[in-house]
Chain A
């Protein structure tokens, strides 16, 4: 078990290093920032000066070294636009994203799991049909449309909830549902199919033969075996949410990381774009690492490999 975790940790570090390399190279490929940032009436000398100030005239490996040093210093470079350490700007927005993602994730897990389990247990019956429609709608309806419809119903017509912005817990409800529904639908469908797979297995028959109650069969025996694919999808969903959800944030005017990235791209704020991409990729790597460890915890066959 210790060796397994250690191996995964080393792999995570290698991936992280590769990510820094890719992010650095992509930025190089995206063009000359000095040229993009310079005002239209800038002379070639002005531009050359800007290049020097921004460190773009140094050899590539030196630039990469500086880039790495910036990351290791914890500042992640300075934003062109805000003239502040990128990490400070990101940290300013991240709690909002975390709040929204957390709330959506709670909805996803509670509703997605229970819908999936109930659909599997009542396969072919009315609840299953209802669940299918619910899941299909979640996956088919565009997020912006759903957000606007919720707003129309609950804010404009019923006047129960604030239309947008951040503040009280009431502000959180509609964005969390909007963001969560798509993921809830995917979790519900996956839970249903993997529960159906498990409920059909011999060890489930065996548990029934032993006299295990219906709830014990479903929750103890089948669900634990069905967990691994659900965990994989759930964790990926969570990272997607953590990296910001541009549409939901835009519709509900939610000051999260997603909108920060879009703003940074539009203003050619390269250090900030690099920072958000890098942190986003690290989330993927970190969450994957956690999930790998969780797999091993759940499934002894992985643990003893």
Chain B
């Protein structure tokens, strides 16, 4: 991967100030997204993967959530320095997002046509027949049968898969450069999942779209992502090309995640599970946050957070195990 990056996230930190303490949901996340590339963000629930995405488009739930530091470079400028009005012009036009649940992503009181038309009205100031034509085109693109009829219908008249495709058509209507998909297929049937992913990939190929896919499903990663970042407790612990990561998972957490996948053709009585619970993000100490659950934790792991090192071309890692080896070489 040596593409020109379209998005650079540098040391992003997003905290939640709650009554019971500060939750460091995203704590120093850095990555690049290449043009036309698909990056997978993987991790357990609550590891900060969704919040890091909402931080990019500056839609962290206020007032508790605050982006406290870092840079998000897009088109040569830092998104974190933009005004709300400037962000309104970027959202939906340059960077767009798909949410997890298509059943709730659409406004129940507006027609499909109106909802797909909305970003086009806002960003491209389209009106009348031109607008309708564009809406038809988008619905065609996401394979909605007889768009002319469907435009006048309401979300409750459609199936989940259809709604997610409509959401896709809606957020891609203005041809954004980046699409963030937050668990886009989690609430869909398995067959519909594959269909929807294929559709996204096709659109990506024809329009050179860059994508960030948030998921906890390695199947989706394998199918759709060029590169993967594994997140744990608000930090990226390992990042590599998809093939490299599947072949050589270096971080004990990544390795454990891989181990907990059911394997085709193998009869297993029990699936492997990682011992313990994800850490409380309010009470993290200075050490590696995975150390309490790590089977190979050492003295230093509990004291100091391991620095990020590049162990292979494009394969980075934050773990003392490997750091030690590298140093010993």
Binding between chains A and B: yes
Binding site for B on A (CB under 8 A): 124, 201-203, 205-214, 221, 224-225, 298-301, 304
Contact B122 A211 (CB under 8 A): yes
Chain A residues with Cβ under 8 A from B92's Cβ? 209-212
Contacts of B101 in A (CB 8 A): 202
Cβ-defined contact, B118 with A210, below 8 A: yes
Among A206, A211, A224, the residue within 8 A (CB) of B167 is: A206
Binds A, one of B68-76, B83-91, B222-230, B319-327: B83-91
Q: List 9 additional A-B contacts (Cβ < 8 Å) besides A208-B59, A210-B171.
A: A201-B104, A202-B104, A209-B96, A210-B170, A211-B89, A211-B122, A225-B108, A300-B108, A300-B156
A227 to chain B, nearest CB (A): 9
Residues of B close to A300: CB separation below 8 A? 108-109, 154, 156
**CB-defined contacts of B122 to chain A, threshold 8 Å:** 210-213
Contacts of B59 on A, CB cut-off 8 Å? 205, 208-209
Q: With A212-B118, A212-B122, A301-B156 as given contacts, are A203 and B63 in contact (CB-CB < 8 Å)?
A: no
Cα A221 to Cα B122 in complex, Å, equals 14
User: Shortest Cβ distance from A1 into chain B, in angstroms?
Assistant: 13
A221 to B104, CA, bound (A): 13
Q: Which residues of A contact B221 (CB under 8 A)?
A: none
Q: List 28 A-B contacts (CB under 8 A).
A: A201-B104, A202-B99, A203-B106, A203-B108, A205-B99, A206-B99, A207-B107, A207-B118, A208-B59, A209-B92, A210-B91, A210-B96, A210-B122, A211-B92, A211-B119, A211-B122, A212-B88, A212-B92, A212-B122, A214-B84, A221-B107, A225-B107, A225-B108, A225-B109, A300-B154, A300-B156, A301-B154, A304-B154
Residues of B bordering A, CB below 8 Å: 57, 59, 63, 84, 88-93, 96-97, 99, 101, 104-109, 118-119, 122-123, 154, 156-157, 167, 170-171
Chain A residues, CB < 8 A from B123: 211
CB pair B88 A224 closer than 8 Å? no
* Cα-based distance from A124 to B171 in the complex (angstroms): 32
B37 to chain A, nearest CB (A): 21
Pair count A-B, CB < 8 A: 75
* Nearest chain B CB to A229 CB, angstrom units: 14
Contact between B108 and A301, CB atoms less than 8 A apart: yes
Contacts of A202 in B (CB 8 A): 99, 101, 104-105
| Chain A residues, CB < 8 A from B154 | 300-301, 304
Residues in B whose Cβ lies below 8 Å from that of A301: 108, 154, 156
Chain A residues whose CB sits within 8 angstroms of the CB of B99 once the complex forms: 202, 205-206, 209
On whether the beta carbons of A203 and B119 are closer than 8 Å, the reply is no
Distance (Å) between the CB of B149 and the closest chain A CB? 14
How distant is B116 from chain A, measured CB to nearest CB, in Å?
Answer: 10
Q: Which residues of A contact B106 (CB under 8 A)?
A: 203, 206
Contact call A211/B91, Cβ cutoff below 8 A: yes
9 closest Cβ pairs, A-B complex: A211-B92, A202-B104, A210-B92, A300-B154, A211-B91, A203-B107, A210-B119, A209-B97, A206-B105
Nearest residue (CB) in A for B103 is: A202
With CB as the reference atom, state the residue of chain B lying closest to A204. B107
In-complex Cβ contact of A299 among B88, B90, B104, B109 (8 A): B109
Query: In the complex the two chains form, what is the Cα distance from A209 to B98 in whole Å?
Result: 9
Q: Which of A124, A207, A213, A298 contacts B109, CB < 8 Å?
A: A298
Q: Which B residues are in CB contact (< 8 Å) with A221?
A: 107
Contact call B105/A203, Cβ cutoff below 8 A: yes
